[in-house]
Amino acid sequence: MSGPPGAMGPTGDWEQLYATSEVSSLPWYTTALDADIERALQEHDLRGRRILDLGTGPATQAMNLAKRGFDVLATDISPSAIKKAKASAKAAGLSIEFRVDNVLASNLAPNLVDAIVDRGVFHVLPEDKRPAYVRTVHRVLRPNGWLFLKCFSDKEPGTWGPHRIAESELRGYFRGTFEIRSIVETVFYGNVKPPPKALFATFQRGESARPTRPTQNRERKRSTRS
């Protein structure tokens, strides 16, 4: 499968892509709420809470969350993505707060949300930018808030599209800043068939505004599935 122009590499020009593409043609597009995200929200009983859909793109995740009664804030680096997402939400009669925001230089306030959903943002960031991402999501989450992150796994063959990330690598970025609750093997549903192999991680911010101490011994590693 070849992706559209601008989405072929992790440094794709997101604004150019969204300005010139029909969002339903993008590789990550799905009308459904990601099953791993839905399960995690239920497991941690986050009903009705304030949620950030980070890098919302077509906003299908944000809209599904709003339909389920969450108070949704949705951001993206691309103004065209946000413009199209606003139109889609309006057409669906859904109330969602949309903002253009770059997670690597974010203007979002501290302690803003109870949970963050990242479906496909972390894995498009260059390695040297990932620590800045971790700092932003930690700051934006309220104490004990949750980060649910889906990224391509290093078990996905090939090189098209986003970075492949190994479980140990993912742990390395978040260890010491978040409690690592689980990382499980899964797939990334969208327009790509078969769906690429992925990881779904559940991280929790501690009580303190400062990063927590290393958590290796307290990690709970769940069995893998795909």
Ligand X SMILES: C[S@@+](CC[C@H](N)C(=O)[O-])C[C@H]1O[C@@H](n2cnc3c(N)ncnc32)[C@H](O)[C@@H]1O
Residue ranges binding ligand X (CB under 6 A): 14, 28, 55-58, 60-61, 76-78, 81, 102-104, 119-121, 124
Closest distance to ligand X from the beta carbon of 184 (Å): 18
Closest distance to ligand X from the beta carbon of 218 (Å): 29
Looking at the Cβ atoms of 32 and 214, the one nearer to ligand X is 32
Closest distance to ligand X from the beta carbon of 142 (Å): 20
Vertex 16: Cα angle to 13 and 17 (nearest 5): 80
Closest distance to ligand X from the beta carbon of 56 (Å): 6
Looking at the Cβ atoms of 119 and 175, the one nearer to ligand X is 119
Looking at the Cβ atoms of 88 and 102, the one nearer to ligand X is 102
What does the DSSP assignment read for 151-203?
EEBTTS-S-SSS--B-HHHHHHHHBTTBEEEEEEEEE--SSSSSPPEEEEEEE
Closest distance to ligand X from the beta carbon of 180 (Å): 21
Would you state the structure tokens that stand for residue 176, as one six-digit string? 């010491």
Q: Write down the residue that tokens 């949705």 correspond to.
A: 74
Looking at the Cβ atoms of 78 and 153, the one nearer to ligand X is 78
Q: Write down the residue that tokens 């799905």 correspond to.
A: 30
Would you state the structure tokens that stand for residue 222, as one six-digit string? 């769940």
Measure the CA–CA gap between 141 and 182, rounded to whole angstroms. Answer: 18
Are 120 and 187 a contacting pair, CB within 8 Å?
no
Strand segments (E) across the chain? 50-54, 71-76, 97-100, 113-119, 141-152, 179-187, 197-204
Looking at the Cβ atoms of 23 and 46, the one nearer to ligand X is 23
